[in-house]
Chain A
Amino acid sequence: ETGVTQTPRHLVMGMTNKKSLKCEQHLGHNAMYWYKQSAKKPLELMFVYNFKEQTENNSVPSRFSPECPNSSHLFLHLHTLQPEDSALYLCASSQGLASSYEQYFGPGTRLTVT
């Protein structure tokens, strides 16, 4: 049990659908992250929130829209996705943004875009 939960665990959606991924952390952390993990590729950082404020947006297409209503919850809203967006989407949290704080990951949402 890592203390970070994600729902749904699996999602299949068409290119015209709108869906949302949810992440919740029960660790009292202040920073939360969205990552994309594709097969045999490095983890790609998408968004970073610290104390509910977005600090990074790594050139992510606008069809991905994050939302952080409080320090415990993070959403990723999806619309008009492309097949190449199929991947494992991982949420993570850490105590803060300082270098020594390790990140705790959720189990991920396996997304398939048809």
Chain B
Amino acid sequence: GQNIDQPTEMTATEGAIVQINCTYQTSGFNGLFWYQQHAGEAPTFLSYNVLDGLEEKGRFSSFLSRSKGYSYLLLKELQMKDSASYLCAVMDSNYQLIWGAGTKLIIKP
């Protein structure tokens, strides 16, 4: 079966750095996405990785290792507004997105 694993919940301090991990087992691989979802709102796109390595976009970076079936989302200089759920999703060989259950990130002052 296809499976995406990510921690259920993480807590971090304002101004700090947090890394959210995602491991996957899918039938084929056509890219990995990270989305942010604030409570009661729609998911919004953060990043896309299809090749191994690190993609940096401002305070957010995303890393991919296809051989390990592993990705992480790195958030720097955390702000209170970063409190949200972070969803990892992999596009499989049928070009369908397989989603993880999301990691709820709690930022404390």
A2 close to B (CB within 8 Å): yes
Docked CA distance A43–B96 (Å) = 12
From residue B91, how far is it (CB to closest CB) to chain A in Å?
Answer: 5
Bound complex: CA A56 to CA B96 (Å): 9
Q: What range describes how many residues of B lie at the interface?
A: 20 to 34
Asked whether, in the complex, the Cβ of B42 is within 8 Å of the Cβ of A105, the reply is yes
A14 to B35, CA, bound (A): 33
Within 8 A of B (CB), among A61-114: 90, 97-100, 102-108
Complexed CA–CA distance, A56 and B98 (Å): 14
Chain B residue at minimal CB-CB distance from A58: B96
Measured between C-beta atoms, what is the minimum distance from A59 to chain B in Å?
13
Q: Are B42 and A2 in contact (CB under 8 A)?
A: yes
**What is the distance, in angstroms, from A92's C-beta to the closest C-beta of chain B?**
8
Residues of chain A contacted by B43 (CB below 8 angstroms): 43, 90, 105
Q: How many chain A residues touch the partner (CB < 8 A)?
A: 22
Q: How far is the CB of A9 from chain B (nearest CB, A)?
A: 10
Cα(A5)–Cα(B33), bound, Å? 22
Q: Is the CB of B8 within 8 A of A99?
A: no
Q: Which residues of B contact A99 (CB under 8 A)?
A: 30-31, 50, 91, 95
Bound Cα distance A98, B101 (Å) = 23
A45 within 8 A of partner (CB): yes
Contacts of A105 in B (CB 8 A): 42-44
Chain B nearest Cβ from A17, distance in angstroms: 24
Instruction: List residues of chain B with CB under 8 Å of any chain A CB.
Output: 4, 8, 30-31, 33, 41-45, 48, 50, 87, 89, 91, 95-102
27 contacts between A and B (CB under 8 A): A2-B42, A4-B42, A40-B8, A40-B101, A40-B102, A41-B101, A42-B4, A42-B99, A42-B101, A42-B102, A43-B43, A43-B97, A43-B99, A44-B99, A90-B43, A98-B95, A99-B31, A99-B50, A99-B95, A100-B31, A102-B45, A102-B48, A104-B45, A105-B42, A105-B44, A106-B42, A107-B41
